[in-house]
Amino acid sequence: MTANRYRCRLHQAAHERRLEMHPLTWWLRDDGERVGLDEYVAKDGYAVVRQVLGYQRPDEVIETLKAANIRGRGGGGFSAGVKWGLTLKGEDMPRGYLVCNADEMEPGTFKDRLLLEQAPHLLLEGMILGGYANDSCFGYIFLRGEYVTAARAITRAIEEARAAGWLGRDIAGSGFDFDIALHTGAGRYICGEETALINSLEGQRANPRAKPPFPGQSGAWGKPTVVNNVETLCNVPAVLRFGAEWYQGLSGERSGDGGTKLYGVSGKAHRTGLWELPIGTTAGELLDRAGGMRDGRSLKAWLPGGGSTGFLLPEHLDLALDFDTIGKTGSRLGTGLITLVADDQSMVALVRNLEKFFARESCGWCTPCRDGLPWTVKLLRALERGEGRPGDIELLEELAEDQGPGKTFCAHAPGAAMPLASAIEYFRDEFERGIARPGKDDVVPDGPLSTSEA
């Protein structure tokens, strides 16, 4: 396997990366091969496990994590330290589970894949430390089934870590017992939602669960369960090695959030791929690193972090790509991998494609999502063909409103509503061009809506 084979290519070469500046990717090789145990240990890998286990109490680890404020890289931006602090633990509580969310099916997102395929020991080290802090008895990596190379890399790394005593009983002589298993999913977007993931892990249908109780109180098999994203967990070793202040300082003046972020670019740019940069880097800088738009195209819009975030405009390129700054625009940072939309791309077709994905991936539990999304696709398909009817755009807005926050059981439908609502807000004229009018292209205005793609 070579680093060039996949879109998830890291564009910073080894000589451009330093541990103190690139805690996530410093470990990676230029050839894109998996970093095995010997190489990882030679680079001081697992040193933090030895440094922390038996020398720091779990609550001390959590305090450091809270001070560092690693915001959840799965897209929600919730502080990992706060989440760990809220997880039930204590002598009268059963030991629970630490689950790594490696489902990564967000459209336009391929950051966890890099870490899983190339730095599996970094993830295992983060999980051991997370397991220790949360008094977990066992860890699971819930992996998107199509990530076959990652599955091989993780399986091999678990075997290596077990053989070397980094997993199993009495890790590093600390008295702490912890092991990890890989669980491959069948490839469903909803399995990335943490409670649906837990159901799937238990062998049940992947429907989201009602919250409360939150997984930290009652998760997998009724035990306290922490679910964290791959990138979130990969930050943990460096935070415990260099401290919360160092982590906060990584972003400099760019952002109130600390640390680095695996940012990425997809779409019609010269160079798509990944960069590890201080959090708060702007999308404009990412576009520059990507060599600008290709083939003389110009930028019309962009998604800041996957298909479930709202479109932004070229005028937003100078904003810091962090949770709060992007949140203030009405969009979300999401996964932080930007998708570029070129001037010659149809917003209606693009949104129709996204909504078709979200409709297919709905678990079917609530009406605005189960029925609303296929209806949305039907309306968009008609507009795309120039067969829309007067009132369709308003109907789409109503559907997006009904799929918004608080109207459905989980955040799948609100995520699906974001690109739709923002595309109509910024590019209404493109949607209006899809309304059939008498005499316009000889299309009959009140013809039946197409159902072929719904």
Ligand X SMILES: Cc1cc2nc3c(=O)[nH]c(=O)nc-3n(C[C@H](O)[C@H](O)[C@H](O)COP(=O)(O)O)c2cc1C
- Residue ranges binding ligand X (CB under 6 A): 72-76, 78, 80, 101, 103-106, 189-190, 192-194, 227-229, 232, 410-412
Beta carbon nearer to ligand X, 377 or 436? 377
Any residues with CB less than 8 A from the CB of 324 and at least 6 apart, and which? 256, 257
Cross-strand pairs, 260: 278
CB closer to ligand X out of 80 and 283? 80
- Please identify, using beta-carbon distances, which residue of 131 and 434 lies nearer to ligand X: 131
Q: Cβ(45)–Cβ(63) under 8 Å?
A: no
- The CB-of-89 to ligand SF4 minimum distance in angstroms stands at 29
Q: Which of 354, 296, 282 is nearest to 325 (CA)?
A: 282
Buried-exposed string 230-251: b where 16+ CB fall within 10 A, e elsewhere: bbbbbbbbbbbbbebebbbebb
Residue 139 or 215 having the CB closest to ligand SF4: 215
Pick the closer one to ligand SF4 by CB: 209 or 316: 209
Whose CA is closest to 133, among 246, 236, 257, 243? Answer: 236
Cβ neighbour number for residue 404 with a 10 Å cutoff: 15
Give least dist CB 190 to ligand X, A: 5
Would you tell me which residues interact with ligand SF4 (CB under 6 A)? 190, 208, 362-366, 369-370, 408-410, 412-413
β-bridge mates for residue 264, sequence order:
274, 337
- Residues with Cβ within 8 Å of 27's Cβ and at least 6 positions away in sequence, in order, are 35, 40, 43, 45, 118, 119, 121, 122
* Residue 272 binding partner per list ligand SF4, ligand X, none, with a CB distance cut-off of 5 to 8 Å that depends on partner kind: none
Select 307 or 434, whichever has its Cβ closest to ligand SF4: 307
**Partner touching 323 among ligand X, ligand SF4, none, CB below 5 to 8 Å by kind:** none
161 contact choice in ligand SF4, ligand X, none (CB below 5 to 8 Å, kind-dependent): none
Name the residue number minimizing CB distance to ligand SF4: 369
Cβ distance to ligand SF4 smaller for residue 232 or 408: 408
Dig out the tokens for 196 from the structure. 């649906």
In the list ligand X, ligand SF4, none, the entry touching 349 (Cβ below 5 to 8 angstroms by class) is none
Alpha helices, DSSP H, located in 141-258: 148-163, 194-201, 230-242, 244-249
Residue of this chain nearest to ligand X (CB atom): 192
Q: Can you tell me the distance from the alpha carbon of 69 to that of 251, in angstroms, rounded to the nearest whole number?
A: 12
Tell me how far apart the alpha carbons of residues 28 and 22 are, in angstroms, rounded to a whole number. Answer: 10
Smallest gap from residue 363 Cβ to ligand X (A): 9
**Residue 227 binds which entry of ligand X, ligand SF4, none, CB below 5-8 Å type-dependent:** ligand X
Write down the least CB distance from residue 308 to ligand X, Å.
7
CB of 155 to ligand SF4, least distance (A): 30
Closest approach of ligand SF4 to the CB of residue 392, in Å: 23
Q: How far is the CB of 405 from ligand SF4 (least distance, A)?
A: 11
State how far Cα 25 lies from the chain centre: 17
